[in-house]
């Protein structure tokens, strides 16, 4: 397979949010592959208007502009592709095995190390995808309010990681996986890979929090668009397209 994805990195000392900056650049005509990287974000964003703590030089904060050659209904697979690429990069650059939590987190011992925010933006004639990735590298990121649920590479490995190496491995791994996603059979392959690399894919007891409802069940793999299949306690399969998933201990609420 010929590699097509070629990142071009533009660096900022400080931005409001690399996703917002990437949106501005995409609207101004930037091509696929532009990667906005910042040493800090003053308004780092999570999903649903949540924020992402982004202190200076403590993490990797970047956003890629993508113009996927994919039907829009499978664009959610971009988040899963990015999660796989972050897992690859952490393994290669830091010898760290992180778990992937549906839909957009990487965790170590159930603590969040990385969050991914995929958004779409209308540009001249076609929509573009903005794929934001935040990875906690060093301890400074763990402010008291998030330290109960968060971790970073330094805490997980005992070694302060080389940010540029993580960045290099991440852009490389994302390029490989993104090219693969867009090739024949790439969506099915990505879903198989995701299930193989996430403890949340099959047979995990979880609590699912959606905007208007919370329920518990056992994960049963992914739909073709990346939605999570969860079998409820009454044996019904629910398809979750948006929500937060928390792992339950095996003994909890069986
Ligand atoms: C996410 O949202 O996890 C998506 C985070 C994406 C961040 C990147 S950084 C580069 C790019 N530019 C942006 O502006 N954003 C992207 P969500 O699943 O909604 O999780 C958000 C929640 O994670 C918050 O409400 C906090 O509880 C928690 N949190 C905030 N900052 C954190 C951090 N640095 N480490 C771990 N958890 C954090």
Q: How far is the CA of 166 from the centre of ligand 1 (A)?
A: 18
Question: Please, are residues 26 and 130 in contact by the beta-carbon 8 Å criterion?
Answer: yes
What is the predicted pLDDT for the residue at 2? Answer: 58
CA-to-CA separations, 145 to 52, 60, 141, 219, in angstroms, rounded:
12, 20, 11, 29
Q: Is the pTM of this model over 0.85?
A: yes
Judge whether residue 16 has pLDDT over 50.
Answer: yes
Taking CA atoms only, the protein residue closest to ligand 1 atom 20 is 46
Q: Whose CA is nearest to atom 2 of ligand 1?
A: 46
pLDDT band at residue 253 under the 50/70/90 scheme:
very low
The percentage of the chain sitting over the pLDDT mark of 90, rounded to a whole number, equals 87
Centre of ligand 1 to C-alpha 124, Å, is 29
By C-alpha distance, which of 47, 49, 39 is closest to 18?
A: 39
Q: Is 85:105 a contact under the CB 8 Å cutoff?
A: no
Higher pLDDT, 20 or 249: 20
Q: Whose C-alpha lies nearest to ligand 1, atom 34? A: 53
Taking residues 35-62, report their average pLDDT. 96
H helices of 95-245, in order, are: 144-147, 153-157, 163-181, 186-197
Pocket probe for ligand 1: among 25, 36, 52, the residue whose CB has the most ligand atoms within 8 Å is 52
Of all protein residues, whose CA lies closest to atom 30 belonging to ligand 1?
Answer: 52
Distance 53 CA to ligand 1 centre (A): 7
**Residue 251 above 60 pLDDT?**
no
CB 2 within 8 A of CB 184: no
Output the pLDDT for position 140. 75
- Residue ranges lining ligand 1, Cβ < 6 Å: 17-19, 41, 44-48, 50, 52-53, 61-63, 104-105, 112, 115-117, 132-134, 136, 141, 146, 150
Residue nearest to atom 27 of ligand 1 (CA): 146
- CA 17 to centroid of ligand 1, rounded, Å: 11
The whole-number average pLDDT for the span 13-23 is: 98
Nearest Cα residue to atom 29 of ligand 1: 52
Distance 109 CA to ligand 1 centre (A): 17
Check if the beta carbon of residue 25 is closer than 8 Å to that of residue 63. Answer: no
Neighbours of 159 (CB within 10 A): 11
Q: Which of 149, 120, 144 is nearest to 132 (CA)?
A: 120
Distance CA 244, CA 247 (A): 10
Closest residue CA from atom 37 of ligand 1: 150
Say which DSSP state 227 is in.
P
At 145, is the pLDDT very low, low, confident or very high (cuts 50, 70, 90)?
confident
State yes or no: pLDDT of 254 exceeds 50.
no
């Amino acid at each position: 397979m010929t590699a097509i994805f070629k990142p071009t990195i533009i660096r900022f000392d400080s931005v409001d949010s690399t996703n917002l900056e990437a949106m501005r650049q995409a609207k101004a005509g930037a091509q696929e592959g532009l990667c906005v990287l910042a040493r800090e974000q003053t308004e780092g964003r999570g999903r649903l208007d949540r924020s992402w703590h982004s202190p200076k030089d403590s993490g990797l904060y970047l956003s890629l502009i993508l113009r996927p050659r994919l039907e829009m209904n499978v664009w959610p697979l971009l988040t899963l592709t990015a999660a796989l690429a972050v897992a690859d990069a952490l393994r290669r650059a830091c010898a760290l095995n992180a778990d992937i939590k549906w839909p957009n987190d990487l965790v170590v011992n159930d603590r969040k190390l990385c969050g991914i925010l995929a958004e779409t933006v209308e540009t001249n004639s076609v929509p573009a995808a903005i794929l934001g990735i935040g990875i906690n590298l060093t301890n400074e990121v763990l402010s008291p309010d998030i330290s109960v649920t968060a971790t970073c590479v330094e805490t997980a490995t005992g070694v302060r990681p080389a940010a540029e190496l993580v960045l290099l491995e991440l852009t490389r791994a994302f390029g490989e996986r993104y090219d693969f996603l867009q090739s024949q059979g790439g969506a099915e392959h990505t879903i198989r890979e995701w299930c193989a690399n996430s403890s949340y894919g099959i047979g995990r007891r979880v609590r699912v929090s959606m905007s208007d409802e919370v329920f518990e069940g056992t994960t049963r793999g992914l739909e073709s668009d990346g939605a999570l299949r969860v079998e409820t306690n009454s044996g019904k399969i629910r398809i979750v397209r948006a929500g937060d998933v928390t792992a339950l201990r095996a003994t909890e609420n069986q």
